[in-house]
């Protein structure tokens, strides 16, 4: 089996995200997030050439500016300000990475079950990458303790959904993609500002300890 | 297109005004007047739809409004206008208590952004725009929940933003599936336009459409608060200031359910009404049952109304599952009117007594008879007692279910509605009686909005005859 660039980029993004699961330190995890998103940008440009869709090129530029450069820099700035370096997680990172690898396999099986894969480029491996990114995002949110990791998990999850739209439906209309991008940016800004507040009033950002509100 | 801009003018101006004006008192007044003006503009716009002269109003590419959407956009604006009128009183008292105006500017800015985002949900004819506006409502209402700047409010806001964002991310995945269903279907043209999807529904790839439907229901359902995904809802409703909870419960919930409604329209048009109906009716029944049983053990005043909202979300979900937009609208109107009155009253009571705990609220009847009177009437309205409006809509949902033979659902609904009624009347009864430490004589401003809402719930109940609302054939 020979992989072409199209499949390598999608699977590469998924593998990079799985490696994030094995990281205790937040800085390299952010760098890997930027790398993962950058591979998705390359994939977008590739699809825009293959399908001759000019609008995808502009979407790629939007993602490059906002998600590859802007969001990681913003989160890095927050990390410095509230002085958090690492997240040991609820589960040991190597174990959650193995869970991620297992989900990558599950995604491959699921991708072959996907109906209607008749687009002109074989979308199965790309769909594997996209679904694995979604699972990885959910795993990051579930297995990490620190509020910042939850934001990173959400971003990985969103990357997966974007990659899925790109490879299975040649991307959504441009105005919709731009709106989604803006919403994600606003969500990251708002949750980032909330992080400051959490640090200030609770003196930690461990979400497993946010259990004051209950029914009893 | 001009009409579309016309609708944005007032909320956008108010956004700017609320940020710039130095005096909070003037902002409060201007914003409440502005919201009633906006309601007037919308009534003018949708008059031909409501009278039946037109069936659809085109507002430019990808934007249109039909009769159900017009009903919802009017309801939403009405709820926001009522809440912002009551804010005049609420913030005046709050300021007397704490001595500072706090973060009112940001609050008012977000109220107007929230209104704008909610308006767009009903105007857009595009699944992508629908998703964008729904996510915008979450983001713009987060500062409303965080208004009191306490630790609890912070925790509630964090859960709200994270859970709703992840939930709605799955709805985005559902949207992608539906888009792909068009591309992999017979005519090979992807489209996000809801009217185009409905008219070409038979050409869509069914298995992708089904996946899209399931993900959209779960995603938008997280925002509406359907049962296993509701965990953020009681926290957010109880920690937000009362008028903001009123907006969340009376307007925001309907918006999320409207998303489910639009997606289920595509399923029905594609000839798979049974699947969508079964799924929504089962989810709805479970939600009603769970919401009612959680009501039994409640210790907090505002959490109680949050669970009652969950119960009503279940009822509306069943109405959507039955494929009846007008039944959904009817239940939404009756729930919103009664629930907004309740939240505003609860806000007054919590402000006066200084506690949200049911065990610390006592003797409201002695302390302030008018509040006690209004509280009894509006709790009757929200539990669906005759002669209030909710009785008619709940009865119609029951009869419509009986007509299609969902007997299990009918039985569970009757049991749950009874449980909810008994639970709410016990809790309310307990805080009404007893001796009060002090008595309050609230100003007219404190009572006018809840009183008007209770009255309109009564009028809604008397106005319509039962038969005219059973829409199912």
Q: What is the 3-state secondary structure (H, E, C) of B436-465?
A: CCCCCCCCHHHHHHHHHHHHHHHHHHHHCC
Q: What is the pLDDT of residue B55?
A: 81
- Asked if the C-beta of A150 comes within 8 angstroms of chain B's C-beta atoms, the answer is yes
Minimal-distance CA residue of chain B relative to A117: B184
The residue of chain B with its CA nearest to that of A161 is: B173
Nearest-angstrom CA–CA distance, A89 and A140: 9
| Residues A176, B158: C-beta atoms closer than 8 Å | no
- Residues 361 through 420 of chain B touching chain A, CB cutoff 8 Å: none
Residue B275: Cβ within 10 Å count: 18
Contact A59, A74 (CB under 8 A): no
Q: What does the pLDDT average to over B15-28?
A: 86
* From B132, B154, B183, residue closest to A197, measured CB to CB: B154
Q: Residues 208..227 of B with a Cβ closer than 8 Å to A: which?
A: 208
- For chain B, helix (H) and strand (E) counts, in that order, are 20, 2
Closest-CA residue of B relative to A196 is: B154
B239/A172 Cβ within 8 A: no
Q: Is the pLDDT of residue B405 over 90?
A: no
Q: Once rounded to an integer, what is the mean pLDDT over residues B94-100?
A: 66
A50 reaches B (C-beta below 8 A): no
* The pLDDT value given to residue B48: 86
Instruction: Answer whether B184 sits within 8 Å of A164, measured CB to CB.
Output: no
Which of B136, B158, B208 faces A198 most closely, judged by CB atoms?
B158
According to the model, what pLDDT value does residue A118 have? 47
Q: Which residue has the higher pLDDT, B203 or B221?
A: B221
- Say yes or no for a CB contact (<8 Å) between B142 and A190: yes
Inform me whether the C-beta atom of residue B207 falls under 8 Å from chain A C-beta atoms: yes
- Residues of B in Cβ contact (< 8 Å) with A116: 180-181, 184-185, 205, 207-208
Between residues 425 and 454 of chain B, which touch chain A (CB distance below 8 Å)?
none
Residue numbers in A near B180 (CB within 8 A)? 116, 165, 168-169
Q: Return all residues near B213 (Cβ < 8 A) that are at least 6 apart.
A: B174, B178, B263, B264, B266, B267, B275, B276, B279
For the beta carbon of residue A49, count every other beta carbon within 10 angstroms.
Answer: 10
Spans in chain A with pLDDT lower than 70: 1-2, 115-122, 216
Give the pLDDT score at B470. Answer: 46
In the predicted structure, residue B102 carries a pLDDT above the cut 80: no
Cβ-nearest to A116 among B166, B173, B205: B205
Q: Closest chain B residue to A190 measured between Cα atoms?
A: B139
- Which among A147, A186, A201 has the least Cβ separation from residue B139? A186
> For residues B110 and B186, which has the higher predicted lDDT (pLDDT)?
B110
Looking at the partner chain, which of A134, A183, A198 has a beta carbon nearest the beta carbon of B154?
A198
Confidence at residue B374, expressed as pLDDT on a 0 to 100 scale: 93
Alpha-carbon distance B85 to nearest alpha carbon in chain A (angstroms): 27
Which of B128, B161, B205 faces A190 most closely, judged by CB atoms? Answer: B161
Tell me how far apart the alpha carbons of residues B251 and B4 are, in angstroms, rounded to a whole number. Answer: 20
Query: Using an 8 Å Cβ cutoff, are B247 and B79 in contact?
Result: yes
Cβ–Cβ under 8 Å, residues A58 and A181: no
The answer to ipTM > 0.90 is yes
Which residues on A lie below 8 Å from B238 (Cβ)? 213
**Interchain contact, B176 vs A168, CB within 8 Å:** yes
Nearest neighbour of B180 by CB, restricted to A158, A169, A207? A169
Least confident of A24-28, A169-173, B273-277, B403-407: A169-173
Q: What is the mean pLDDT of residues B341-367?
A: 88
Shortest Cα distance, chain A CAs vs residue B179, angstroms: 7
Please judge whether A210 and B158 are an interchain contact, meaning their C-beta atoms are less than 8 angstroms apart: yes
Q: Does A134 touch chain B (CB under 8 A)?
A: yes
Q: Which of B262, B249, B175 is nearest to B219 (CA)?
A: B175
Q: Do B184 and A116 touch (CB under 8 A)?
A: yes
User: A211 versus B402: which is more confidently predicted?
Assistant: B402
The reply to whether residue B128 touches residue A190, judged by beta carbons under 8 angstroms, is no
Identify the pLDDT of residue A74: 94
Q: Which residues of B, range 221-260, sit inside 8 Å of A by Cβ?
A: 234-235, 238-239
Q: Which two tokens stand for residue B197?
A: 């999807």
Query: Token pair of B380, please?
Result: 């009757």
- What is the average pLDDT across B241-266? 94
Of A117, A179, A201, the CB nearest to B128: A179
* Tens digit of each residue's pLDDT (9 = 90 or more) over B55-79: 888 888 888 888 899 999 999 999 9
Minimal Cα distance from A189: which residue of B?
B139
CB A134 within 8 A of CB B146: no
Among A residues 157-196, those touching chain B with beta carbons less than 8 Å apart? 157-158, 161, 164-165, 168-170, 172-173, 175-176, 179-180, 182-183, 186-187, 190-191, 194
Kindly report, residue by residue over B281-331, the tens digit of the pLDDT.
999 999 999 999 999 988 889 999 999 999 999 999 999 999 888 899 999
Residues of chain A contacting residue B356, judged by C-beta atoms under 8 Å apart: none
Distances (CA, A) of B275 to A150, B260, B350, B407, B415: 34, 14, 44, 18, 25
The reply to whether residue B136 touches residue A141, judged by beta carbons under 8 angstroms, is no
Could you give the CA distance from residue A134 to residue A145 in angstroms, rounded to a whole number? 19
Give the confidence band of B12 by pLDDT, cuts at 50, 70, 90. very high
Enter the pTM of the model: 0.93
The token pair at B295 is 């009501």
Distance CA B374, CA B395 (A): 24
**B199 pLDDT higher than 70:** yes
Looking at the complex, does the CB of residue A110 fall below 8 Å from at least one CB of chain B?
A: no
**Residues B135-152 pLDDT 10s:** 999 999 999 999 888 888
Touching check for B294 and chain A: CB below 8 Å? yes
Chain B residue with the nearest C-alpha to that of A152: B162
Residues from chain B contacting residue A173 (CB–CB below 8 Å): 128, 192
Answer yes or no: are the C-beta atoms of A41 and A60 closer than 8 Å: yes
The dihedral over CA atoms of A150, A152, A153, A155, expressed in degrees to the nearest 10, equals 130
């Amino acid at each position: 089996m020979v992989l072409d660039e199209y499949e390598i980029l999608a699977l590469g993004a998924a593998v990079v995200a799985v490696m994030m699961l094995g990281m205790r330190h937040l800085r390299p995890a952010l760098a890997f997030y930027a790398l993962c998103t950058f591979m998705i940008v390359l994939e977008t440009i590739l699809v825009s050439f293959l399908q001759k869709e000019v609008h995808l090129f502009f979407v790629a530029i939007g993602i490059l500016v906002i998600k590859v450069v802007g969001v990681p820099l913003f989160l890095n700035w927050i990390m410095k300000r509230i002085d958090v370096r690492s997240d040991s997680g609820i589960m040991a990172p190597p174990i959650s990475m193995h869970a991620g690898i297992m989900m990558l396999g599950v995604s491959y099986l699921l991708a072959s079950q996907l109906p209607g894969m008749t687009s002109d480029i074989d979308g199965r491996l790309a769909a594997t990458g996209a679904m694995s990114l979604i699972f990885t995002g959910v795993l990051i949110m579930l297995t990490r303790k620190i509020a910042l990791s939850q934001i990173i998990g959400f971003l990985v999850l969103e990357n997966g959904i974007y990659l899925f739209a790109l490879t299975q439906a040649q991307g959504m209309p441009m105005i919709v993609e731009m709106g989604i991008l803006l919403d994600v940016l606003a969500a990251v800004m708002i949750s980032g500002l909330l992080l400051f507040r959490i640090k200030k009033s609770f003196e930690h950002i461990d979400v497993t300890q946010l259990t004051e509100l209950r029914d009893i | 297109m001009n009409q579309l801009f016309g609708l944005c003018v007032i909320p956008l101006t108010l956004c700017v005004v609320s940020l710039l004006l130095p005096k909070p008192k003037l902002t409060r007044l201007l914003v409440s007047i502005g919201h009633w003006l906006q309601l007037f503009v919308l009534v003018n716009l949708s008059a031909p739809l409501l009278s039946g002269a037109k069936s659809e109003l085109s507002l430019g590419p990808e934007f249109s409004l039909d009769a159900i959407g017009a009903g919802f956009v009017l309801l939403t604006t009405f709820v926001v206008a009522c809440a912002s009128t009551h804010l005049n009183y609420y913030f005046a008292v709050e300021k007397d208590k704490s001595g500072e105006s706090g973060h009112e500017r940001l609050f008012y800015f977000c109220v107007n952004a929230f209104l704008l985002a909610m308006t767009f949900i009903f105007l857009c004819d595009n699944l992508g725009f629908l998703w964008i506006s729904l996510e915008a409502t979450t983001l713009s209402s987060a500062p409303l929940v965080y208004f009191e700047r306490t630790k609890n409010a912070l925790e509630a806001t964090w859960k709200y933003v994270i859970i709703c964002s992840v939930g709605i991310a799955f709805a985005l995945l559902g949207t992608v599936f539906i888009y792909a269903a068009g591309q992999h279907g017979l005519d090979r043209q992807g489209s996000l336009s809801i009217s185009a999807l409905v008219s070409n529904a038979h050409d869509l790839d069914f298995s992708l459409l089904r996946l899209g439907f399931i993900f959209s229901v779960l995603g938008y359902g997280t925002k509406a608060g359907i049962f296993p995904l509701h965990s953020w809802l009681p926290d957010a409703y109880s920690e937000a200031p009362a008028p903001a909870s009123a907006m969340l419960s009376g307007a925001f919930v309907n918006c999320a359910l409207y998303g489910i409604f639009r997606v289920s329209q595509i399923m029905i048009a594609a000839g798979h009404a049974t699947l969508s109906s079964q799924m929504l009716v089962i989810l709805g029944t479970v939600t009603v049952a769970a919401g009612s049983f959680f009501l039994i053990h409640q210790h907090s005043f505002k959490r109680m109304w949050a669970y009652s909202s969950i119960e009503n979300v279940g009822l509306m979900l069943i109405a959507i599952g039955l494929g009846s937009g007008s039944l959904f609208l009817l239940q939404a109107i009756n729930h919103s009117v009664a629930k907004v009155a309740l939240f505003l009253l609860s806000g007054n009571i919590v402000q006066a007594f200084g506690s949200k705990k049911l065990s610390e609220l006592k003797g409201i009847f002695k302390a302030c008879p008018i509040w006690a009177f209004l509280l009894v009437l509006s709790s009757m309205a929200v539990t669906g007692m005759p002669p209030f409006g909710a009785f008619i809509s709940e009865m119609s949902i029951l009869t419509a279910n009986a007509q299609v033979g969902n007997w299990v659902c009918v039985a569970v609904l009757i049991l749950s509605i009874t449980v909810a009624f008994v639970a709410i009347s016990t809790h309310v009864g307990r805080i009404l009686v007893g001796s009060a430490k002090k008595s309050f004589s609230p100003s007219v401003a404190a009572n006018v909005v809840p009183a008007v809402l209770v009255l309109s719930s009564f009028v809604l109940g008397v106005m319509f005859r039962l038969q005219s609302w059973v829409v199912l054939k």
